[in-house]
Structure 1
């Protein structure tokens, strides 16, 4: 069934790779599946960025990360909403998370599309850096199920020691 959709799948893969590269991701994964003659797709990317700690702190804290996130609890007229949480990931501990339905893309003459999204921010141990795991899918009709899938994927995140420091998030 997917063989007949090679062009669409190639476009999804290219778009995911282009977006991941533009955002500085160190990892990008794509899932595409045909279900009842419809397509289900999702992406996950992992990136890392500098985040200066607050006064008196040497590394970013989850509390500081949560303060920087904005919640939009009720769906807006455009259908977007965001919920902010603190979550406990099995291998790394507490992290800040924003999940919801967001507008993506768009431009001068192009309407943005809605995507189910989950972004998890994880302080890198002993460093002024934050790892970001972002999962997205255009299949907003199954947002709740996608958020459960994204949570399960993100729960596998861990840091891999590379000598006294940590290398890129895995």
Structure 2
């Protein structure tokens, strides 16, 4: 099941036909600044396959977000299972093309996904796993009502801040 459209965004499942747009997104050095590196075309293909596997296995994943009126590709946003310190947690994640950043679209999409997690998936907690230096992403998490749960390290040993919400803020 896909989140309801917002005032400016629609959500849809990622498909193989999204390779060019997803490569434009995940292959962009600025978008991926807080990741180890921008993704190659083959890595983006694997990302799409991972998203499709998540839909099949869990009924949710990262969805393509498009502008509701123009149909323009904006990025991806959704919910995935992640491991934090040996605990499986549901995470809201988002990536937005540079030309669409700074317009509140990540916040709008993440808020819809957070609501979807609590209202449709009956989640008890949703997290956001963020590089501590990624202030824009941290602001998104805070704007949607999340608070810092813990600071730890990801599986590669990089520092992360984990925000969480338990539903009453959504």
TM bracket (short chain) = 0.3 to 0.5
In the superposition, the TM-score normalised over structure 1's length comes to 0.32
More helix by share: 2
Q: TM-score, normalised by structure 2?
A: 0.32
- Higher-Rg member (1/2): 1
Larger strand share, 1 or 2: 1
